Amino acid sequence: MLPLTLTCSYLLRAQTVQSFEGIDASQVGNPRQTIDPNGAVGTKQYMEWVNGYYQAFDKASFAKVWANPVAIGSLKWGSNAPSCSGIGVDTVIVFDRMASRWVIGGHSPAINGHYYSCVAVSNTDDLTASNFTWYTYQFDLTGCIGTNSSGKLYYPDYTKLSTWLDGYYGSIDLEDPSLGYREIGVVAFVLDRANMLTDSTPRPMQCFRNTSSNGNVYLAHSLEPADVDGTTPPPPDRDEFFVSIQNPPNDGTSTTTNSMNLWDFHVDWSAPSSSTFTQSSLSVPTYTPGCYNVANVAYTFCVPEPSYNGSGVHNHIDSVGDRILWRLAYRNFGSYESFLGSQTIQVGTGIKNIQKKQTGIFWFELRGTGVPAVFQTGIVNPDQSLYRFMPSIAQDHAANAAVGYSISGALTHPGIRASWFSLSNPSPAEFAIQAGKADEKNSQGWGDYTSMTVDPVDDCTFWYVNEYFTTAQVSALTWRTRIANFKLSTCQ
């Protein structure tokens, strides 16, 4: 399929939006139901992930780097990471802008009672270079994960990995297999980036675990570690920060929250016992998480599609409204440091039944040279009909923000849109990236995250990937992905 170019005059100062086809279900040998589309833009290519496979595209021509998407098990994990060939879900691709390297991070399935964090770091920024290879690593997560009261290992879910100056930082949700895989805690960890970049033996992983009491649902799950954008790294010895939602109390009544969690990870590689992981609370405007259900707080399926199920009710898909979504984008402007994040919240007015749980995009910016604080927040919700969900946000070096997301509604098939705004005067302007033409009918599950990243060369061009359908997904998997890029004329 040829690239699609849209000239969006209504975007005020926005320039041309280009998009092209990414990985589609028909291209892979063993497509998954839920695909978690994400990726990153590098100096020469854009690299995309869907669960189990990756592909890359030339930034100028959009030509594929490999003839077909590569199964992650085909990556040569070698003797350094013999347990990693089976990784497939909950994997992310990031581009380490401070070193111009590609990084793939995920976790292994259970192997002889152990789970492993699996990371591949490229030796070059060019995926087509004749000397291109991956440095591979595995780290035993078992001690970090811990066990429940029956001695069973918690299941590691929703792995994230980000770039920081003194390490690759990651997070894991912990689920209890004895309680129907209920979310009961989190793990934050850091890997030895310095040695991993040189194919040297890394120092041991450092990690911290935080769990709920008595197997209760953990209300602060899915930590997002800050991931560096731009060419200016964090200041030397700068702590890494994570954010996570603070869901409403699980009391069967409460539906709103007015805080989020900030986690300060201080690593000391020379004296690991001096490393710390500290939680604090940040106040935000009161909101209801997207699709919040007081009877089942983990059930976030309320986004309607035009199609109906056998009971005459609209098919619904997952908003993933119970967490802050990938990424927490960090940028060092020199005069200040900015952390930008987003999530799905309820915005419905209740005028009509279908609008009662309408979802929109909540975004926030933290600033501060010490422990960052909430600087500003906002909502993307330009109408009273469409549901907007699955956001990912970033900003260019001119402090223009762009957030991409899925849209759907009772009369609108799931599609892909984005909004941009200046952080100095936020007034979001929305534009279409890909209109959906059909629904996902065979599952309520939707991808758990997408990704917006910024070109490390011009530090202006935004790249975004998400999923959609052109034919209804009933039995055979028919999902498709679309990759778009655009920049604002105010960024030079």
Q: Report the pLDDT value the prediction gives residue 354, as an integer from 0 to 100.
A: 47
H-run or E-run covering 243: strand 240-245
Question: Do 180 and 243 touch, CB atoms closer than 8 A?
Answer: no
CA-to-CA dists, residue 180 to 212, 260, 320, 426, angstroms: 15, 26, 18, 42
- Reduced to 3 DSSP states, what percent helix, strand and coil does the chain have, rounded to the nearest 5? 5, 50, 45
Residues 450-468, mean pLDDT to the nearest whole number: 98
What integer is the mean pLDDT of 140-156? 96
Rounded to an integer, the average pLDDT of 440-460 is 96
In this prediction the pTM is: 0.96
Distance CA 185, CA 218 (A): 5
Q: Is residue 164 part of a domain?
A: yes
pLDDT at residue 21, rounded to an integer: 98
In a domain, 483, yes or no: no
The CA distance from 435 to 294, in Å, is: 33
Residue 441 corresponds to which tokens in the numbers above? 């009918």
d(CA 479, CA 472): 9
- Please report whether residue 482 resides in a domain: no
DSSP annotation of 355: G
Mean predicted lDDT score pLDDT of the chain? 95
> Within a domain: residue 324?
yes
What residue has token string 């009918």? 441
Residue 3's pLDDT is what?
62
Query: Which residue, chain included where needed, has tokens 């984008």?
Result: 329
Phi/psi at 272 (5° precision): -55, -30
**CA 235 to each of CA 165, 337, 375, 387: distance values in angstroms, whole numbers, following the listed order:** 8, 10, 20, 39
Residue 210 has pLDDT above 50, yes or no: yes
pLDDT confidence of residue 10: 45
Question: Residue range 136-153: average pLDDT?
Answer: 96
pLDDT band at residue 2 using 50, 70 and 90 as cut-offs: very low
In the chain, % of residues over pLDDT 90: 92
> What is the Cα–Cα distance from 324 to 69, expressed in whole angstroms?
29
Write down the pLDDT at residue 15: 65
Which CATH number goes with the domain that contains 95? Answer: 2.120.10
What is the predicted pLDDT for the residue at 1? 45
The pLDDT value recorded for residue 310 is 87
pLDDT in tens, 231-252: 899 999 999 999 999 999 999 9
Model confidence at 424: pLDDT above 70: yes
Residue 107: closest CA among 70, 153, 154, 139: 139
Instruction: Note the pLDDT tens digit of each residue in 91-101.
Output: 999 999 999 99
Which pLDDT does position 4 carry in this prediction? Answer: 63
pLDDT tens digits for range 306-324: 999 989 999 999 999 999 9
Residue found by looking up tokens 């790249």 in the block: 463
5-42 pLDDT, tens digit each: 554 544 445 568 999 999 999 999 999 999 999 999 99
Q: Could you tell me the maximum CA-CA distance found in the chain, to the nearest angstrom?
A: 63
Q: Is residue 85 part of a domain?
A: yes
Domain presence at residue 127: yes
**Per-residue pLDDT for 434 more than 70?**
yes
Q: What is the total count of domains within the chain?
A: 1
Whether 63 and 474 have beta carbons less than 8 Å apart is answered as: no
Expressed as residue numbers, the domain containing 371 is 4-473
Q: Is the pLDDT of residue 66 over 90?
A: yes
- Asked if residue 327 has a cis previous peptide bond (ω within 30° of 0), the answer is yes
**Residue 442, in any domain of the structure:** yes
Q: What is the pLDDT of residues 361-391, one digit of tens each?
A: 999 999 999 999 999 999 999 999 999 999 9
Mean pLDDT of the 382-407 span: 97
Is residue 305 one of the residues assigned to a domain?
yes
Map tokens 């759907």 to a residue. 408
Residue percentage of the chain with pLDDT more than 70: 95
